[in-house]
Amino acid sequence: MTRRAGIVLVYGAVVVASATGARYPADWWLENLVVFVAAAGVALAWRRGFVFSDRSLVLIALLGALHAYGAHYTYSETPLGNALRDAFGLGRNPYDRFVHLAFGLLLATPLRELALRAVGARGAWSYVLPLAGALAISATYELTESWAARLAAPELGTAYLGTQGDEWDAQKDMSAALAGVSLALAGTALAGRLARRTRRT
C-alpha cells in the first residue's frame, strides 16, 4: 500500500466513525455535503494527473478529521468545545471558530501547491492566490450552509448552522479562516526567506 492510499483509508475510517452513532444523523449528512463534493473534486483531479503531495494530503485529511468530529456531535455541542468554553469562561462553544482557523492554517499549503503547480503562480501571486482561494472557499461554505439549511431541512437550521445566537457568526468564521491562512502563508514566506539566506551564507 502506498502512503497516499494509506492517508485516504485512514481518513475514510474517520468519516465512517463520525457517521456511526452521530448525535443528529440528518445533520451529519448536511454537514458533509460540501465535504463529499470537495473529496470528489480531489479524486477527479487525481484521475486527471494532478496529485497533491503527501504533506498536502495529510493536511487536508487532518482538516477533514476535525470536521468529522464536529459533524458527529454538531459543532455547537462538541465535548471538546464545551470543555474549552467552561475552562476559559466563554459564552459559547468555540469549536466552530477553532475549525475555521484550522481551515486557513491547514489549507494554505495545499492551495499554494495548487497555485504553483496548476496555475504556475510565482512571486507574490503564489501567496495572493491561496489567500483569495481560502476566502472564496470559506464564503462559499457559509453560503452553502445557509442554502442547505433553508431548502433541505429548515427544522435543522439552528443545529446545522451552529450560530449559537450570534448574528455575526458567518463573518467571524470567515475572519478566523482569513487569520489562519494569513498566518500560514506568512510562516511559509518567512521560512523561504530564511532558507534562501542560509543558502547564500
Cβ count within 10 A of residue 181: 29
pLDDT at 150 (0 to 100) = 66
**Cβ–Cβ under 8 Å, residues 99 and 72:** no
pLDDT at 117 (0 to 100) = 92
Residue-averaged pLDDT of the chain: 87
**Cβ–Cβ under 8 Å, residues 84 and 100:** no
Q: What percent of the chain has pLDDT over 70?
A: 89
Q: Domain residue spans in the chain?
A: 3-200
Cβ count within 10 A of residue 41: 10
Q: Is the pLDDT of residue 26 over 70?
A: yes
**139-164 mean pLDDT:** 64
Residue whose C-alpha cell reads 450560530 in the numeric block: 163
DSSP 187: H
pLDDT at 140 (0 to 100) = 85
How far CA 5 is from CA of 17, 40, 105, 162, in Å, comes to 18, 15, 24, 33
The span from the CA of 199 to the CA of 46, in Å, is 34
